[in-house]
């Protein structure tokens, strides 16, 4: 009988959906709404629909791959199995940047918000305190993380509903019921430009980054082959609905996007317009909760990705493949994530971390879409009827859209991102003796489904 520690299959489909929604957050459009509205010349709602197209194609690809390979590791596992060992390592390496930055950006933003509310406590103290607390919660197991996520999700959901209701009430008070159906909040023919719309869609995509982390919990899930794919797609659909309604109503409340005091914080100005100082204060608190919730779930997903790579020998197993015998969590990976977040939260500016966030995500998304084509269309020869659409057309479209969004990133983000990939490629070349060998497999993952 094998007494080695292993991840515990205790998460249900509902847990996965809540986990994904917490990681993305019903308040996700708040920080970027003003930027998207200005970049698209008043078409933020339409930009979210455009972003959803690429994201949904990719979500379908994650659903397909999670049914084929229901194991921890997510993007890394899918690419390694469907393409090859080296591509899998680089996919995991690129997603490590993404998964590291999701909790980091959230911790930095949360610490900045808390310092603004209570300036007597230094920013660094907030950042270190939040990192320590979130790391401790993740150490105690995925069930504790899931329960904490549910509480935070409840707080964010309540406020998201309140914000939507107050926006609708304001519009009705000012313009009557007909004001809720003003087409200018969706489409303005005099200012519409496709290039501007796609530029805004690239920014709007930030509200979806992290949905793929659901698949990192495959070995924490009771029925991963059934539930991982379902939860991934459903979370993306629900997130689109939340974001679309929020930005549509926000555009109705403040139609003149050229008059924003500050695009980055205009959502706070809108909250003051619809609810006064009380709503402004409540919104600040909810943004803080959202940041901590995203950091908590992001750290959990990152530690599972590192665990999957460590278990395969792609990263030092002694550190990354270790599971705590009592809590059944990859504690050494969690500690490492916590230490890196603590250091970077103090040393790195929010803008730099935010610019880098999309680089690893879009690189990984492209590879997962290609993995679907390779595994199902080429290797399994599932090509007839509906299979042609799901195994070739959809993933090809997903890869093209993600490539376009990847190419639209800022120059600084591309430079830093490619430097990160270069470091990974050098490490891979060393451990594989110039790419002549595959990264060592410890045999912990079943190869029977290959």
**Residue of 41 and 307 predicted with greater confidence:** 41
Handedness of CA 269, 280, 26, 159 (dihedral sign): negative
pLDDT(193) > 60: yes
Q: What pTM was computed for the model?
A: 0.73
For the ranges 103-107, 201-205, 235-239, 291-295, the one whose mean pLDDT is highest: 235-239
Of the pLDDT bands very low, low, confident and very high (cuts 50, 70, 90), residue 442 is: very low
- CB-based burial, 50-79: b 16+ in 10 Å, e otherwise: bbbebbbbbbbbbbbbbebbbbbbbbbbbb
User: What's the confidence (pLDDT) of residue 37?
Assistant: 92
Q: Where are the domains of the chain?
A: 13-431
The whole-number pLDDT of residue 332 equals 84
Predicted pLDDT at 5? 56
Q: Is the pLDDT of residue 89 over 90?
A: no
CATH ID of 13-431, from 3.30.450.20, 3.40.640.10, 1.20.1740.10, 1.25.40.10? 1.20.1740.10
* pLDDT score for 45: 94
Range from 114-128, 239-253, 398-412 that averages highest in pLDDT: 239-253
Higher pLDDT, 117 or 371: 371
Closest by alpha carbon to 110, among 285, 257, 272? 285
DSSP annotation of 441 reads P
To the nearest whole number, what is the mean pLDDT of the chain? 81
Question: 222-241 pLDDT, tens per residue?
Answer: 777 778 878 888 988 999 99
Give the span between the Cα atoms of 285 and 140, in whole angstroms: 26
pLDDT, greater one: 171 or 151: 171
Q: Cα torsion at 96, 342, 33, 257 (round to 10°)?
A: -130
Task: Give the pLDDT of residue 445.
Answer: 32
Least confident of 105-114, 171-180, 410-419, 430-439: 430-439
Q: What percent of the chain has pLDDT over 70?
A: 90
């Amino acid at each position: 009988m094998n007494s080695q520690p292993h991840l515990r299959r205790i998460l249900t489909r509902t847990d996965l959906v809540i986990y994904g929604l917490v990681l993305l957050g019903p308040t996700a459009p708040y920080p970027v709404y003003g930027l998207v509205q200005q970049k698209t010349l008043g078409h933020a709602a339409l930009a979210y629909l455009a972003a959803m197209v690429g994201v949904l194609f990719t979500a379908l690809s994650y659903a397909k791959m999670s049914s084929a390979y229901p194991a921890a590791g997510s993007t890394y596992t899918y690419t390694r199995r469907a393409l090859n060992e080296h591509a899998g390592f680089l996919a995991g390496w690129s997603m490590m940047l993404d998964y590291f930055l999701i909790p980091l950006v959230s911790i930095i933003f949360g610490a900045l918000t808390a310092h603004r509310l209570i300036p007597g406590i230094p920013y660094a103290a907030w950042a270190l305190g939040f990192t320590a607390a979130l790391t401790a919660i993740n150490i105690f197991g995925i069930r504790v993380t899931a329960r904490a996520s549910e509480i935070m999700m409840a707080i964010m959901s309540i406020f998201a509903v309140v914000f939507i209701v107050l926006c609708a009430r304001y519009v009705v008070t000012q313009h009557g019921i007909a004001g809720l159906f003003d087409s200018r909040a969706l489409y303005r023919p005099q200012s519409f430009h496709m290039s501007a719309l796609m530029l805004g869609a690239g920014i709007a995509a930030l509200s979806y980054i992290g949905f793929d982390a659901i698949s990192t919990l495959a070995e924490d899930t009771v029925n991963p082959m059934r539930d991982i794919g379902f939860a991934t797609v459903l979370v993306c659909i629900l997130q689109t609905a939340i974001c679309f309604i929020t930005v549509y109503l926000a555009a109705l409340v403040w139609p003149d996007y050229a008059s924003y005091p500050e695009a980055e914080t205009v959502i706070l100005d809108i909250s003051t317009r619809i609810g006064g100082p009380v709503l402004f204060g409540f919104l600040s608190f909810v943004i803080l909760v959202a940041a901590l919730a995203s950091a908590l779930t992001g750290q959990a997903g990152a530690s599972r990705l590192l665990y999957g790579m460590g278990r395969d020998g792609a990263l030092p197993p002694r550190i990354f493949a270790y599971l705590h015998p009592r809590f059944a969590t990859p504690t050494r990976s969690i500690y490492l994530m916590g230490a890196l977040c603590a250091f970077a939260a103090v040393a790195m500016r929010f803008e730099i971390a935010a610019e880098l966030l999309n680089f690893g995500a879009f690189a990984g998304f492209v590879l997962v879409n290609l993995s679907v084509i390779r595994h199902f269309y080429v290797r399994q020869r599932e090509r007839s009827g509906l299979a042609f659409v799901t195994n070739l057309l959809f993933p090809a479209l997903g890869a093209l859209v993600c490539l376009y969004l990847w190419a639209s990133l800022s120059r600084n983000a591309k430079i830093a991102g490619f430097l990160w990939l270069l470091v990974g490629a050098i490490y891979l070349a060393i451990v594989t003796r110039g790419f002549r060998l595959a990264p060592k497999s410890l045999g912990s993952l079943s190869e029977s489904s290959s």
